[in-house]
Every structure is written in structure tokens, then in C-alpha cells.
Amino acid sequence: MTLQELKPKIKNIIVQSQLTVDERLLKICEILETNINYYNWVGFYFKNGDKDELKLGPYVGEPTDHTIIPFGKGICGQVAVSNQNFVVPDVAAQDNYIACSITVKAEIVIPIFVNGENIGQIDIDSNTPDPFNEADERFLEFVCKEVSKLIS
């Protein structure tokens, strides 16, 4: 399934008001991980209250010990500070990288904004070297914009 073909499916999940926010976020993770072969771990991190840290939300993939990430630490923590997309073609080349699994070769993190404030992010790990391109960035920005409707 192409990224474009996934967009209406994401929109459909967002409007399923009979499900909790976390249930919808998990469905988004599942549909991305299932339909995009190089999305091997898909999850959400959100700002943890008033603390300068991120807390793991719904995800699919290998279990992770990284349930809390301080701002500035790792790729997710850097995005929490920079408010910018971060595409990592080769995690081994990153100094400030938190390894979740030895199989991970690349990562992409896109922030989620509500009323101009970075409230979280989608984090995707890939076991494929350098798989992410501009189409992934634009698609994941779309996903984050849809997710922001759940949080606002």
C-alpha cells in the first residue's frame, strides 16, 4: 500500500470516536508498521506533563526500555527541543543516539504540534539502512497533523 493510499485509512482511524485516543494511536502504529515494510518500530512519545521529558505512548514493535526520554537526549529528545523533523539515515553515525535494538539502522522522528506547541512526536525505527525520503517526511507530517486533532 502506498503512502497516499494510507492517508484515508489514517483519517478513518482518527474519527473513530468510540475508541480512546490511545486505541486510535495504537491503530495508527499498527497500520503503518503493517503496510510499510521498512517501518519496523512505530510509536508515539508525548511531553510528560510539565517535565522536560518525553513519555512513551502507544507503539508496535520490539519492547523498549526507553519509556522516559529527557529533552535533548537521543533523537526523540533532540526533536523535543528543536521542533524540527529529524531523519537519521545511519544511527551508527549519530553521537547522541539511544539504541533501542541492535537491528535498528535508521530512524525518523516528526514532531506533533497543537496550537503551535510541540506536544509529542511519532518515532519510527527501520532495520533497513537509509530508507526514509522526503515522501516519508511529508506523509508523517500528515499523520502528525491528524493526530494533533485527537490531542487538541
Other Cβ atoms closer than 10 A to 129: 12
The CATH number linked to 22 is 3.30.450.40
Which pLDDT score, from 0 to 100, does residue 42 have? Answer: 98
**Residue ranges making up the domain that contains 37:** 3-151
Instruction: List Cβ neighbours of 110 (8 Å cut-off, separation of 6 or more).
Output: 79, 85, 121, 122, 137, 140, 141, 143, 144
Residues pairing with 6 in the sheet: none
Residues pairing with 117 in the sheet: 114
Of 17-31, 74-88, 90-104, 138-152, the least confident: 90-104
When divided into structural domains, the chain yields a total of 1
**In percent, how much of the chain has pLDDT > 90?**
88
pLDDT tens by residue, 115-146: 999 999 999 999 999 999 999 999 999 999 99
pLDDT of 70 above 90: yes
Name the grid cell of 35.
503496510
- DSSP codes, 84-150: S-EEES-GGG-TT---S-TT--EEEEEEEEETTEEEEEEEEEESSSS---HHHHHHHHHHHHHHHHH
pLDDT of 33 above 80: yes
